[in-house]
């Protein structure tokens, strides 16, 4: 029985020995690679300039050499050796330059400023280095949450606009049709009034006045639509009967509320359009795409709306600030901001004519 046991153990050892020896050879190759990397890092000055990283990694390699390691641990040590070499090379380069630490601090502060700008924040000018980083991290958390909420809101708004955008032309046609039906009905009522015995002349005059106003409004809307080129503006009717001229052709400088040259013809058309409705109220609304922070775009859209309003007041001979203005920034897009065409469509001035 003892002889059989010894024979079995010998067979198992003989069978497993190639696999065991192969594993040892593989670990030896890994150790040689890691030690070669540590030698390069030492030559670059890592042992003296980055002592904590050096000794921690050297200890890990020695433990793996004595006790073995998992594949994940070997891989992690390989990455750590490569990082140590890169860090040592960077520190060596900084030491060769004059004011190396100052230059490195400047690059660090610049990176913090760029990260802050991505979220519409500014680094506290009185802070630098780690205190500046800690302060930015504290303020980034709510900023990131707010940005995500804004993105989610815009996505919902975009889906809503996509769902309704295709029905807007049909809605406009239905509004015109409704006006035409109303005019026909008024014609019929006027004819019946004329035939009805004993109708007061005042009632007949009032009916004629209403009919005339409806016809004039229909003609004015048709005239507006035909006066603008497709790339200048389009005219829409709202549920409450207001007229909205969405003006895409007005150009401003990038990030500026100053009108660019060559706007006179289009502004003259807007002036003539407003004069078609002498008893109406006018409001100028500014809109932007979502490039940059929301706060900046809100201010820019308000300033652009004010610029157009002041110009129209001058051309119309109105008192200063008699035309109301409002800036919506990126909050009311007409198209997706993911394309240049969509962003161009969202950058617009809306002229809203109500009443009259």
198 and 280 belong to one structural domain: no
Say whether pLDDT at 8 is over 50.
no
Would residue 127 count as lying in a domain?
no
- Same domain, yes or no: 274 and 338: yes
Q: Is residue 109 part of a domain?
A: no
Least confident piece of the model among 136-140, 176-180, 255-259: 176-180
pLDDT for residue 205 is more than 70: no
Whole domain around residue 299: which residue ranges? 228-356
- Assess whether pLDDT exceeds 80 at residue 347: yes
Structure tokens at 340: 């240049």
- Judge if 310 and 212 occupy the same domain: no
CB neighbours of residue 214 within 10 Å: 16
Distance of CA 244 to the CA centre of its chain: 26
Is residue 178 a part of any domain in this protein?
Answer: yes
Q: Residue 354 domain-assigned?
A: yes
Q: Is the pLDDT of residue 170 over 90?
A: no
350 shares a domain with 254: yes
Element (H, E) at 349: strand 348-354
Is a pLDDT exceeding 80 seen at residue 4? no
Confidence of residue 327 (pLDDT cuts 50, 70, 90): very high
The pTM for the full model equals 0.43
Per-residue model confidence as pLDDT tens digits over 273-302? 899 888 889 999 999 999 999 999 999 999
Residue range 177-200: mean pLDDT, rounded: 61
In a domain, 220, yes or no: yes
Span 10-67, pLDDT tens digits: 444 444 444 444 556 678 888 889 889 989 988 888 888 888 888 898 988 988 888 8
Residue 329: inside a domain, yes or no?
yes
Q: Is residue 47 part of a domain?
A: yes
Domain final position from 227, 244, 264? 227
- The reported pLDDT for the residue numbered 86 is 86
Q: Percentage of residues in the chain with pLDDT exceeding 90?
A: 26
My answer on whether 249 and 293 are in the same domain is yes
Identify the CA nearest to 309 among candidates 255, 251, 350: 350
Residues 294 and 350 in one domain: yes
CATH of the domain at 278: 3.30.1330.60
Who wins on pLDDT, 331 or 64?
A: 331
Residue ranges of alpha helices (H) inside the chain are 2-43, 46-49, 51-67, 71-96, 100-118, 129-165, 168-195, 201-227, 264-275, 294-316, 340-346
Domain endpoint, select from 210, 227, 244:
227
Range from 10-19, 54-63, 167-176, 199-208 carrying the lowest mean pLDDT: 10-19
| Through-space distance between the first and last CA atoms of the chain, rounded to whole angstroms | 115
Q: Which of 72, 97, 122 is the last residue of a domain?
A: 97
Same domain, 332 and 218: no
Average of per-residue pLDDT across 239-266: 90
Q: Are 150 and 257 contained in the same domain?
A: no
Let me know whether 220 and 309 are in one domain. no
Where residue 128 falls among pLDDT bands split at 50, 70, 90?
Answer: confident
Domains in the chain, number: 4
Instruction: List CB contacts of 103: < 8 A, sequence separation 6 or more.
Output: 94, 97
Q: How far is CA 155 from the centre of its chain?
A: 11
Are residue 234 and residue 338 in the same domain, yes or no? yes
Evaluate whether 234 touches 348 at the Cβ level (below 8 Å): no
Q: Are 181 and 137 found together in one domain? A: no
Lowest-confidence region among 20-34, 88-102, 225-239, 240-254: 88-102
Indicate the burial class of 140 (C-beta count within 10 angstroms; 0-12, 13-18, 19 or more).
middle
Give the dihedral of Cα atoms 265, 256, 291, 151; nearest 10 deg.
Answer: -90
Same domain, 292 and 246: yes
In a domain, 200, yes or no: yes
Q: At which residue do the structure tokens 């895409």 appear?
A: 248
Q: How far apart are CA 315 and CA 72, in angstroms?
A: 75
Please provide the average confidence, as pLDDT, over all residues in the chain. Answer: 79
């Amino acid at each position: 029985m003892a002889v059989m046991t010894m024979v079995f153990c010998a067979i198992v050892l003989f069978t497993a020995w190639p696999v065991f020896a192969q594993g040892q050879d593989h670990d030896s190759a890994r150790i040689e690679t890691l030690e070669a990397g540590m030698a390069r890092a030492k030559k670059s000055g890592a042992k003296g300039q980055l002592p904590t990283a050096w000794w921690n990694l050297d200890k890990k390699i020695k433990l793996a050499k004595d006790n073995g390691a998992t594949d994940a641990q070997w891989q992690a040590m390989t990455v750590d050796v490569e990082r140590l070499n890169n860090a040592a090379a960077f520190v060596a380069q900084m030491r060769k330059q004059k004011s190396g630490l100052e230059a490195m601090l400047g690059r660090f502060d610049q990176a913090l400023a760029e990260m802050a700008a991505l979220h519409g924040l500014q680094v506290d000018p009185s802070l630098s280095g780690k205190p500046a980083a800690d302060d930015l991290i504290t303020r980034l958390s709510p900023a990131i949450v707010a940005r995500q909420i804004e993105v989610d809101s815009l996505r919902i708004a975009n889906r809503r606009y996509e769902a309704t955008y295709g029905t807007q032309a049909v809605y406009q046609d239905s509004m015109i049709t409704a006006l035409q039906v109303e005019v026909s009905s008024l014609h019929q009522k006027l004819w019946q009034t004329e035939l009805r015995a004993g109708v007061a002349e005042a009632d007949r005059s009032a009916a004629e006045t209403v009919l005339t106003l409806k016809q004039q409004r229909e003609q004015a809307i048709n005239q507006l639509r035909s006066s603008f080129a497709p790339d200048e503006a389009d005219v829409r009717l709202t549920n409450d009967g207001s007229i909205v001229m969405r003006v895409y052709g007005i150009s401003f400088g990038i990030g500026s509320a100053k009108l660019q040259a060559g706007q006179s013809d289009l502004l003259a058309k807007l002036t003539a359009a407003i004069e078609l409705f002498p008893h109406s109220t006018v409001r100028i609304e500014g809109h932007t795409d979502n490039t940059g922070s929301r706060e900046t775009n809100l201010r820019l859209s308000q300033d652009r709306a004010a610029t157009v309003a002041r110009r129209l007041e001058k051309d119309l001979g109105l008192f200063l600030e008699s035309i109301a203005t409002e800036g919506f920034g990126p909050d009311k897009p007409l198209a997706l901001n993911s394309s240049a065409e969509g962003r161009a469509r969202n950058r617009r001035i809306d002229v809203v004519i109500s009443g009259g």
